[in-house]
Structure 1
Amino acid sequence: MRIKYLLTISVMASLLVGCNDKEKVTDVPTNAPADQSTAQQAGDNVTDQAAYNFVEFSLDVDYSATESYEVEYEDKRSGIEAKLEDDRNNIRLQGDEAYTKLDPLFKQLNFDSTTPNDEVIDQVIKVFNIEDNYQSIEVEVEFVDGNEKEFKRIK
């Protein structure tokens, strides 16, 4: 009987640890992008509601084996998740702090799923102020229209 209780407690503790909400944005502005699936369920026009042209955005810039600049953004049904890590400036932001920093940058991006690779990378370099001495840049995007694309540049 004791083993059953210990096993139950262990499983519950594991589930709680797995439910990490640090990256969740809790203070979402009213003009924040709408989740595509939620907007479609409500019968709304997705492009009218989305603040950005994408629902997921991932940026990985490698400067060296130990220095990188990373951005993660997801607009899910359960909410927005955002993360920014900049090794060169020792910045680690998650949730509301990351979203606040990333929102004005995302609003400057105007590429879509038909934009050529070089144009997307050039735009990301400019908007995120990426230093020229990077080794590689990788951008993964899921657009509002459902298309997913990956853009890369290696020096």
Structure 2
Amino acid sequence: MKRLLGSAAIIALTLLLAACGNGGETDESPADQSEGQPAGENEQMDNASENDGGTDQTTGANDEEATTSSQSYGFTQFSVEADIDGTRDAVEVEYEQENDTTEASYQDENAGIQLKGDEAMEELDSIFTEFTFDESTPEEEVAQEVAQAFNIPEDAEEFEVEIEFDDQNELEYERN
């Protein structure tokens, strides 16, 4: 009887430890973890990540990925690139909201900003919510508002803005 109780206790402890895992700590990088992923899906996502820089949010493998955002800015994609004072891509902003994931990065060499993921979204949210333009605003006005928001001077060597609005209309503005 003691042997049976001892074996049952060992089995119960083993099951408890297996169910608890290792307390959430792991030696694996987030890209190596496959919790909740069907076999083969991680490899597929890794290949997609290598091809286009995107990953499924559940892996956490992409630093540019932010949490799901329910905020609507009137656009699903937004990018800015500006060359200032001889610095290529002195300002570079990327935002893409697709299905349940949002990817964002914000770099401003002059201001010392190098943000990705949630940190970038926090900063960009404060800028995006101040925008007053929509898909019917003339390109010049949109470009002027974007330049002002990101402190891009009139004499920037190159300035590009690309926006895909919620209604799928696209705006592309380039000033050389």
Give the structure-2-normalised TM-score: 0.62
Which one scores higher on RCO, CA 8 angstroms, separation ≥ 6?
1
Task: Indicate conservation of the 8 Å contact 1:54/1:142, yes or no.
Answer: yes
Give structure 1 stretches of 5+ with no counterpart: 1-11, 34-49
Give structure 2 stretches of 5+ with no counterpart: 1-42, 56-60
Residue in 2 that maps onto 1:150: 172
Tell whether 2:91 aligns with 1:69. yes
Query: Following TM superposition, by how much is the alpha carbon of 1:89 offset from its aligned partner in structure 2, in angstroms?
Result: 2.9
Question: The residue matched to 2:163 in structure 1 has which SS?
Answer: strand
Counterpart CA distance in 2 for 1:122 and 1:82 is 22
Moved over 4 A (4+): none
| 1:125-136 map, 5 Å | 125-136=147-158
Counterpart CA distance in 2 for 1:79 and 1:67 is 25
Tell whether 2:133 aligns with 1:111. yes
Counterpart CA distance in 2 for 1:65 and 1:83 is 18
Query: Following TM superposition, by how much is the alpha carbon of 1:67 offset from its aligned partner in structure 2, in angstroms?
Result: 5.2
Closer, same or farther in 2 for the Cα pair 1:126/1:77, shift >3 Å?
same
Task: Indicate conservation of the 8 Å contact 1:121/1:153, yes or no.
Answer: no
Q: Return the match for 2:120 from 80, 98, 104.
A: 98
Question: The residue matched to 2:78 in structure 1 has which SS?
Answer: strand
Query: Following TM superposition, by how much is the alpha carbon of 1:90 offset from its aligned partner in structure 2, in angstroms?
Result: 3.1
Query: Following TM superposition, by how much is the alpha carbon of 1:65 offset from its aligned partner in structure 2, in angstroms?
Result: 4.5
Residue in 2 that maps onto 1:44: none
Aligned residues: 124
Query: Following TM superposition, by how much is the alpha carbon of 1:94 offset from its aligned partner in structure 2, in angstroms?
Result: 0.2
Greater Cα shift, 104-113 or 130-139: 130-139
